[in-house]
Amino acid sequence: MIDRRRFMGVAAMGAVAAACSPKPGDASPTSTTSTTPPPATTTQAPVPPDWHALRAQLPGGLDLPGDSGYPISARSYNPLFDNREPAAIAHCTSVADVQRCIDVARLARMPVAARSGGHSYAGYSTPDKGLVLDLRPMASVQVTGDTARIGAGARLMEVYGALADAGRALPAGSCPTVGIGGLTLGGGIGVTARKYGLTCDKLVSAQVVTADGEQHTVTDGDLLWALKGGGGGNFGVVTSFMFATEPAPDMTVFSLKYPSGATADVVGAWQEWIARQPDEMWSNCIVSAGSPPTCRVSGALVGDETTCKELLRTMPRASSVLIAGKGFLDAMRYFGDCSQRSIAQCRPESEGGQLGRASFTASSRMLNTAVDPAALVHLLDGRARLDVLLDGLGGAVARTEPGDTAFPHRKALASAQIYSSGGAQDVVEVRDGLGQLAGPHGYVNYIDATMPNWADAYYGDNLPRLRKVAATYDPDKVFTFAQAV
């Protein structure tokens, strides 16, 4: 089974624009069309936040240090960041709530970050001494025909459940508690990416609150381009997304386990095999550190079991084989380790579900070409509690040109997630070793505070255009953090 830790994204923030709505307190909720970028704010002395006044304006509440709800509200998915102490956590139930909070943060010149699922690998969704905009209350999923409007606070498993009820599907990740916001804004690698593309490729429009506190809607232009893989946190707070969806397909899932000592042969064979597969086939190869390293191959076919068995015939013989036909929702529950749980149970324990948190250190590389399998095995030999997850790309992902969206890694063979429940030094050494084998690029949704030359690694040739968009829509850097563009 594929580990449910995969595909974690950063906070639900990004850039979009084109139509403005009134600020909080205006009489009419209607929007007017505008293509004019927001103006730069006037330089003035910081205005200390009036938390009492803000709390009175937020129906969802505001948690401050010392409040009974603060310890839980301040948590992100990874306990590694429990030492962060936000100045406040605002539970936003509406666009107006988001606008009020951005106004406060802008005037106070304090760090501000939106939180969708809270899975930011570098903890940027929990800024120390900053304001967290908890978008979790904004989690509705509304399906109309072949489109779906999804609130930025929705988690993946509830998105899958609501879409399945309408017979629809969206390509997205496998971790059930990841937020749709961060996943989309970083690109969105997932189980059906080779068939349907990245999550961001299905993005039709979005609503965002920019640094000046104005609400915008975008359907085209530079801001929509930037939203499709430009990374969360760079341009504003996205409050909802409109996606094109696909008819929910029948699928076949599989898992192949291999004996110790076969790892190099399997990794080499898998790289050649996945490059030849039809779009309907997605797979990953998980290499686990050890003495010696071991591996398994998992995946899913948009299709039936007979076809799946035929396509797997050229892979090396496995010591254990699982192949099972499933509907789309059940396939997503399988990959999310939720086959025996209801949608409600596939929520964090803090929300009444059964899923706990996980402490880890992680990073990534993009495999621009196949890597030397023996060299990869050597890199992991003798280490412990570390996995490298190679997720196959190609197919529909590769048919979009690198400059057509902000996600630049369109021609990569696979992404590599380096995930450790042990020491951070192992992650650094494996990341840098993989960089020598596969190239210097990485996936922004596995954002790493220590990534060398991070801007080029995440964005490549798209970086200058992204920086231009950020300078246009957030000239005063209201939305900034250590790896903001």
CA angle 450, 453, 456 (to 5 degrees): 125
- Determine the pLDDT at residue 27: 27
| Rounded Cα distance, 460 and 226, in Å | 13
* Alpha helices per DSSP H over 109-144: none
Question: Which token pair is 8?
Answer: 């974690």
Contact 346, 157 (CB under 8 A): yes
Instruction: Provide, rounded to the nearest whole percent, the portion of the chain with pLDDT above 90.
Output: 90
| Rounded Cα distance, 457 and 358, in Å | 26
5: confidence class by pLDDT, cuts 50, 70, 90: very low
User: How do strand 131-134 and strand 112-115 relate by DSSP bridges?
Assistant: parallel
**pLDDT above 80 for 39:** no
Identify the CA nearest to 115 among candidates 103, 125, 105: 125
10: confidence class by pLDDT, cuts 50, 70, 90: very low
**pLDDT above 50 for 231:** yes
Helices 156-165 and 328-335: crossing angle in degrees, nearest 10, is 170
Question: Which token pair is 426?
Answer: 């192992």
| Rounded Cα distance, 17 and 461, in Å | 23
- Determine the pLDDT at residue 339: 97
| Rounded Cα distance, 475 and 41, in Å | 8
Identify the CA nearest to 351 among candidates 75, 121, 68: 75
Q: What is the mean pLDDT of the chain?
A: 92
CA angle 158, 159, 165 (to 5 degrees): 90
| Rounded Cα distance, 248 and 231, in Å | 28
3-state secondary structure of 251: strand
24: confidence class by pLDDT, cuts 50, 70, 90: very low
Q: Which 8-state DSSP code applies to residue 318?
A: P
Identify the CA nearest to 71 among candidates 54, 85, 50, 52: 85
**pLDDT above 60 for 398:** yes
| Rounded Cα distance, 300 and 15, in Å | 33
Q: Which residue has the tokens 């927001």?
A: 38
pTM over 0.85: yes
- The domain defined by 250-326+357-460 folds into Vanillyl-alcohol Oxidase; Chain A, domain 3 (3.40.462)
387: confidence class by pLDDT, cuts 50, 70, 90: very high
Q: Kindly write down the DSSP assignment for every residue of 51-112, as one continuous string.
A: HHHHHHH-TT-EE-TTSTTHHHHT--S-GGGTT---SEEEE--SHHHHHHHHHHHHHHT--E
Contact 382, 264 (CB under 8 A): no
- Determine the pLDDT at residue 423: 84
State mean pLDDT over 446-456.
Answer: 97
Question: Which token pair is 430?
Answer: 């494996």
State mean pLDDT over 315-343.
Answer: 98
C-alpha Rg value of the chain to the nearest Å: 22
Per-residue pLDDT of 135-152, as tens digits, reads 999 999 999 999 999 999
Exposure b/e, 262-299, CB count within 10 A at least 16 = b: bbbebbbbbbebbeebebbbbbbbbbbbbeebbbbbbb
**pLDDT above 60 for 158:** yes
CA 411 to chain centre: 20
**pLDDT above 60 for 156:** yes
- Determine the pLDDT at residue 99: 98
Sort 248 into a burial class: Cβ within 10 Å, 0-12 / 13-18 / 19+: buried
Question: Which token pair is 26?
Answer: 């205006």
- Determine the pLDDT at residue 44: 81
- Using CA atoms, how far residue 454 sits from 442, 446, 457, in Å, is 8, 11, 5
Half-sphere exposure (Cβ direction) of 310: Cα atoms closer than 13 Å:
6
Exposure b/e, 334-360, CB count within 10 A at least 16 = b: bbbbbbebebeebbbeeeebebebbeb
- Determine the pLDDT at residue 43: 61
Contact 169, 192 (CB under 8 A): yes
For 254, phi then psi, to 5°, come to: -150, 155
Q: Which residue has the tokens 């291999």?
A: 258
State mean pLDDT over 13-29.
Answer: 29
Question: Which token pair is 292?
Answer: 């010696």
User: Residue ranges per domain, the chain?
Assistant: 250-326+357-460
Per-residue pLDDT of 101-140, as tens digits, reads 999 999 999 999 999 999 999 999 999 999 999 999 999 9
- Determine the pLDDT at residue 254: 98
Q: Kindly write down the DSSP assignment for every residue of 384-449, as one continuous string.
A: -SEEEEEEE--TTTTTS-TTTSS---TT-SEEEEEEESS-HHHHHHHHHHHHHHH-S---GGG--T
CA angle 200, 203, 204 (to 5 degrees): 160
State mean pLDDT over 402-421.
Answer: 98
Long-range CB contacts (within 8 A, 24+) of 408-411: 408/229, 408/441, 408/459, 408/460, 408/461, 408/462, 409/187, 409/366, 409/441, 409/443, 409/460, 411/368
Helices 373-380 and 263-276: crossing angle in degrees, nearest 10, is 130
Question: Which token pair is 161?
Answer: 């459940």
